[in-house]
Amino acid sequence: MERGRRLLADPHHTKGTAFTPEERRERGLLGLLPAGVQTLEEQIGRCWSEVQRLSSDLDRYVYLRSLQDRNERLFYALLAAHVPETLPLVYTPTVAEGCRRFSEIWRRPRGLYLSWPDREDLREALRNRPQEEVDVIVVTDGQRILGIGDQGVGGMGIPIGKLSLYTLIGGIDPARTLPILLDVGTDNAELLEDPFYLGWRHHRIDEDAYTEFVDRFVEAVRAELPDVLLQWEDFATPHALPILQRYRDRLLTFNDDIQGTAAVALGALRGATDVAGTRLRDQQVVMLGAGSAGIGVMEMVAQEMVDEGLSEQDAYARCWVVDVRGLLTADREDLSEAQRRFTVDPGVVAGWGIDGLPQLADVVEHVTVGVLLGLSTAAGAFTEQIVRTMAGKVERPIVFPLSNPTANAEARPADLDAWTDGRALVAAGSPFAPLRRGDREVPVAQCNNVYIFPAMGLAVTAARATRVTDGMMRAAARALGAASPALRDADAPLLPPWADVRAVAEDIAVAVAVQAVADGVAPTRDEDELRALVRSTRWTPTYQHP
């Protein structure tokens, strides 16, 4: 049992000023703390007052990370007491600036940094993890951080932030989480020239070396932590899907940018189609953006259409994808295998009278599009003309500008609302101000993966799943769609408010666990048993008393 200064410095077990007089005597703390004893609630109030006093969101981010390093129970209790206010501070959008300035604001290490020069010793590095038992790893290579690109070692802000949400929302014990940064260099010239940069100061390694390094990493994880959930985060498009396909049948793993983004988008779509009085299988769906996230969303949409009764051929025929060049057509030679699944026969568009590849406006002009999605980072790409054309053909157009950060959104929700006379069903990828409906403010749903991945971690941990299946992801999406406030009030947002996200996570986790059993990747248990396991697995940020 830790005592004295070691106990005070242990972020998992310290109570700081909440240690009682008896505990101070028993645990060697006399004289190490001021005489006043505070409750956890009083500590929360004091810390929240400090957060509010700070002048910028980056300062608040740094303060909260420092609090996490000092006292994790207090950190999570503070977040739980102020979920809507703190989510943007510990993750998007503030985490982007935290990643940009990672080396500048560095305070103390958290997680593991596995670099190419140490490739022969990855198992030894994993053995240096702070805690022996780990339930969830989030790993990135820092190459495609949010919408700000290659941040090298600064990408570590993403796994740290994601795992904070695994704990806050999913209830995963923070002592059983592990952020990892694969440092394979950076091609960001500013970082390479920055005298304060803390990463391996080298251009990114070539593709063969990269594949070898990731393979070594996965084998080290399988050897040291065979039952851990491994989440891939913010990998560049050329790597994201191949990595997922290579390892998804070898260990418990998923890619949040591909599968998590797809699941939350599908969840919002399920709510939107129910509000519109239609089925997803009856919609023509257009995606602007053909990267790993965009293709991942469309794959899940197509499979959901199949689950609703369409043949696979008919489902894919209702899915249209437009990239930076134009519509994906079967005669293009610049497409990946994943993109090729969404190509359109050139004969279908031959009668449109267009020279070259059809663009987004052409597709909307010639197809009765009911759902328009964007993961392109092309700001303003959903123009007034495009949206008005779409709204002239369907009663309740469903429009999701999902790119982030906010500056990259394909449209502003307020404009979408105005251009459709309030008929559009809107969800965005970034936070936006509420819409005005008379004297009422209507929040804009944010398709943030935070609705999905913490519940996924809770589900697989509680159910002891061995794999993450596509069916489990779609089960999460359906459970999220069923929680849409718009089902009870058509003017309400399509996704639950942040204040409710911790409660919603339980129902999503149970649905995922039930599907894991159905898919044969978890021990057989009924729904009541799984709900009991989910509840008993959740860690809560309270102080333990003798």
Contact assessment for residue 162 and residue 452, using Cβ atoms and an 8 Å cutoff: no
Task: Return the sign of the alpha-carbon dihedral for residues 167, 171, 173, 176.
Answer: negative
Q: Which two tokens stand for residue 29?
A: 């703390």
CA distance 124 to 129: 9
Name residue 241's amino acid: L
Q: Which two tokens stand for residue 113?
A: 């940094």
Give residue 326's Cα distance to chain centre.
Answer: 28
Please state whether 494 falls in left (phi above 0), alpha (psi between -120 and 50) or beta: alpha
Secondary structure element (H or E) that encloses residue 112, with its range:
strand 112-115
DSSP structural state of residue 395: S
Q: Is 451 a residue of the active site? A: no
Contact assessment for residue 328 and residue 321, using Cβ atoms and an 8 Å cutoff: yes
Task: Return the sign of the alpha-carbon dihedral for residues 285, 441, 164, 140.
Answer: positive
Q: What angle do CA 9, 13, 14 make, to 5 degrees?
A: 50
Active-site position among 15, 61, 76, 91: 91
Match 């058509």 to its residue by tokens: 490
Note the residue count of the chain: 546
Active-site position among 15, 61, 162, 247: 162
Please state whether 152 falls in left (phi above 0), alpha (psi between -120 and 50) or beta: left
> DSSP labels for 157-182?
HHHHHHHHHHHHTT---GGGEEEEEE
Secondary structure element (H or E) that encloses residue 136, with its range:
strand 136-140
Q: 116: closest CA among 210, 2, 231, 247?
A: 210
Q: Is 91 a residue of the active site? A: yes
Provide the annotated active-site residues: 91, 162
